Structure 1
Amino acid sequence: MVHRFGGPEVLEIVDVPRPAPGTGQVLVRVAAAAVNRIDLSTRNGALAQGGLLAPSARYWLGWDVAGTVEDVGPAVEQFEVGDAVIGLRDVLSAPGTHADYVVLDAGAVAPAPVTVSPTVAATLPLIGLTADRSLALTGLRAGGTLLVTGAAGGVGGLVLQLARHRGVRTVAVAGADDEAQVRRSGATWFVPRTDALAAAVRDVVPGGVDAVIDAAVAGIPAHEALRGGGVFVALVAPFAPRPLRATQVVVQEVRADGARLAELSALVDAGRLTLPPAETVPLEKIAAAHERVAGGGLRGRVVLVP
């Protein structure tokens, strides 16, 4: 947690009483919790500056979790003590998952995939639900064309896989060294990062793509690759471009959705969704984990282990 905004040095490990679940909630003993860029934005004050974080004496970190149900509150019927679960904390004022225990609404929790370790399973909730909802917002059906920026990243890679599963053709934009990776994820076409993005995409999809998911926050250059009347899905509201040529620009806002998360977990177990590798860091070395994520260049996820 943090009491003030700043660099990794403001992060603190504190002792607090073990929480208890209320009505409709479960207590999860944390086995692993991913570090996401939104955790860095919480710690450095960017979320507060953007009006997304209410003033508080302390701020909690951690969205993703994989672990075991330790206790259940009244009116919880779908989970029992001992169940292996994954979940998403999406209420920023509530204690986060970078802890030994976390309380979540039962509707934010799903059975964990059984074919991967808890450290890998912990990478699914935030990027999985983000990728899934982003693809849904495009409205694309089988045969449609989709530009995915940041295709080698966590969200972009899952978008490619989910799009392949639904028959959507994808143009993947990533670094030149990432072509093999994004093609394994299901990319139909590959375009290396370039200052002439729109022209490069229109070379492979004449007239422009039907939709864009801008995981890399490319903004206007990615929008220029979109056909008239197409859909642009932005993941960061302040950087969403203005609509042009009758395009529709929408901002994806992730939310905890245990039912959909359970379906994504099942896709992992069915071998239809491959999660990125996980690099583990002890919880007490959370500052090092933040530095690792901030440094970029990752081809996997950083996961804290209590």
Structure 2
Amino acid sequence: MKAIVLEKAGGPENLHVAEVTKPCIKENEVLVAVKAISLNPADVKPKYEDEMLSMMYGKERPVILGWDIAGTVTEVGSAVTNFEVGDKVFGMVNFPGIGNAYAEFVAAPEAHLAVMPSNVSFTEAAATTLAALTALQILSGKINKGDKVLIQAGSGGVGHFAIQIAKNFGAYVITTASAKNKDFVLSIGADEAIDYHTQKFEEILSDIDFVLDTQGGKVLENSAKVLKNGGAIITTVAPDLPEGVKAAAEKENKTITNILVHSSAEDMNTLKRMLESGAIKPNIYKTFAFEAMADAHREVEKGRTVGKVIVTI
């Protein structure tokens, strides 16, 4: 089968198509003929540093990057009970771990997939994986109807799902976005949009119940300032805050924690139901052919995507 492989750490130019052995499945796995792959910052950043690449994928080379797929089941393991050959499925495979998603076929644990809703395409299904799972796992059980929720970077992959999910949970949603993306974030459910180029959210907002942060650094530090007493922040970045900031937050009963998304069929099925009902809809920013994976990486690296970048096979 064809796969996009990385022989050594470096830029997008190091990604190339190669013939590799089709994976054999374990008893709890299915083999998926991949139709679409979703890209994330977690895909594109580690490839530049050998230490990071080895930490995430081990020292064996070449490596096959990626976790987010949608496709059709072609084989099922002997212990699989939820899927049959021919099922259209989607999911984030083996995260954290090695997903080997940039390939024509992927061996995926049954516990990481859901059957695709009939009202979405392979492209849309692939988009509703790591980013959507991150938003869901951060927000689920953390916010209540009527809460004032701040979503940082609302037009991004995680952010645009988080706006929709928070709104579905009944929150009042505020987000940061550039002026050119204001109409987009308002169209998907944000009640307010703050232009981070010309406005300082920390000078505008107060009494926020919950912040979803994907930026870290000064943005995370300033997010703590707008929380009400007893409010909470969950960040996708390690919360490496100055001691003074931590002490001030703790004094006001504010909590700042980080999260690492994990593969989950249960959560994928929640996303499936949300897609079916129209509660969430992925925004496909750009699509690329499989052979143009390097160009897809370059697009994600610009940091200006509105929604998701998808590669199709």
TM-score where L is the length of structure 2: 0.89
**Partner secondary structure for residue 12 of structure 1:** strand
Q: By how many angstroms is 1:232 displaced?
A: 0.8
Which AA in structure 2 matches 1:38?
A
1:248 aligns with 2:243: no
State the one-letter code of the partner of 2:269.
A
1:20-39 → structure 2 map (5 Å cutoff): 20-39=24-43
Q: Which moved more, 1:285-294 or 1:22-31?
A: 285-294
Provide the C-alpha distance between the structure 2 equivalents of 1:76 and 1:283, rounded to a whole number of angstroms: 29
For residue 309 of structure 2, what is the amino acid of its counterpart? V
Matches within 5 A, 1:229-268: 229-237=230-238, 243=246, 244=249, 245-268=252-275
CA–CA distance in structure 1, aligned partners of residues 281 and 76 of structure 2: 30
Paired residues for 1:154-233 under 5 Å: 154-193=157-196, 194=198, 196-202=200-206, 208-217=207-216, 218-233=219-234
8 A Cα contact 1:61 1:95, kept in partner = yes
- Provide the secondary structure at the position in 2 that maps to 1:122: helix
Tell me if structure 1 keeps the 8 A contact 2:155–2:307: no
Does structure 2 retain, via aligned residues, the 8 Å contact 1:98–1:304?
no
Aligned-pair CA distance for 1:53: 5.1
2:155 match: 152
1:105–1:151 distance in 2 versus 1, CA, 3 Å: same
> 1:262 is matched by which residue type in structure 2?
N
- TM-superposed deviation, 1:52: 4.9
Aligned residue runs from structure 1 range 75-90, under 5 A = 75-90=79-94
- 287, 292, 295: which one pairs with 1:288? 295
The structural deviation recorded for 1:220 is 0.9
Distance 1:91 1:133, change over 3 A: closer
Q: What SS does the aligned partner of 2:65 have?
A: coil
Contact 1:68 1:85 in 2 (8 A): yes
Cα 1:235–1:93 change in 2 (3 A) is closer
Distance 1:36 1:76, change over 3 A: same
Show the counterpart of 1:205: none
The question of whether the paired residues in 1 share the 8 Å contact of 2:46 and 2:53 is answered with: no
Shift of residue 93, structure 1, vs aligned partner: 4.9
Which residue is 2:115 aligned to? Answer: 111
List structure 1 segments (4+ residues) > 6 angstroms apart after TM superposition. none
Deviations 1:130-170 (A, max 9, x none): 00011126x22111111111011121111111111111111
Distance (whole Å) between structure 2 residues aligned to residue 28 and residue 87 of structure 1: 11
Q: Percent same amino acid among aligned pairs?
A: 28
Q: Which moved more, 1:294-303 or 1:140-149?
A: 294-303
Structure 2: give runs of 5+ residues left out of the alignment: none
Question: What residue ranges of structure 1 are gaps of 5+ in the alignment?
Answer: 203-207
Does the aligned pair in 2 maintain the 1:171–1:188 contact within 8 Å? yes
The answer to whether the 8 Å contact 1:240/1:249 transfers is: no
Q: What letter matches 2:48 in structure 1?
A: N
Q: Given the two structures, how large is their TM-score scaled by the length of structure 1? A: 0.91
2:65 and 2:100 in contact (8 A); partners too: yes
Q: What letter is aligned with 1:24?
A: N
How far apart are the structure 1 equivalents of 2:302 and 2:111?
A: 34
Equivalent pairs, count: 300
Closer, same or farther: CA 160–91 of 1 in aligned 2, 3 Å: closer
Deviations along 1:242-291, whole A, 9 cap, x unmatched? 53233211112111111221121121121111111252211111111111
Q: Which residue of 1 aligns with 2:129?
A: 125
Distance 2:253 2:199 in 1: 24
Shift in Å, 1:216: 3.5
- Is the Cα contact below 8 Å between 1:60 and 1:92 reproduced in 2? no
- Once the two structures are TM-superposed, the CA of residue 301 in structure 1 deviates from its matched residue by 2.0
Q: What is the deviation of 1:60?
A: 2.2
Which secondary structure does the structure 2 equivalent of 1:94 belong to?
coil
Residue 4 of structure 1 corresponds to 8
Q: 1:93 to 1:170 in 2, by over 3 A?
A: closer
Alignment of 1:124-143 (within 5 A): 124-136=128-140, 139-143=142-146
Q: How has the CA–CA distance of structure 1 residues 214 and 92 changed in structure 2, closer, same or farther, with 3 Å as cutoff?
A: closer
Q: Is the 8 A contact 2:92 2:113 kept in 1?
A: yes
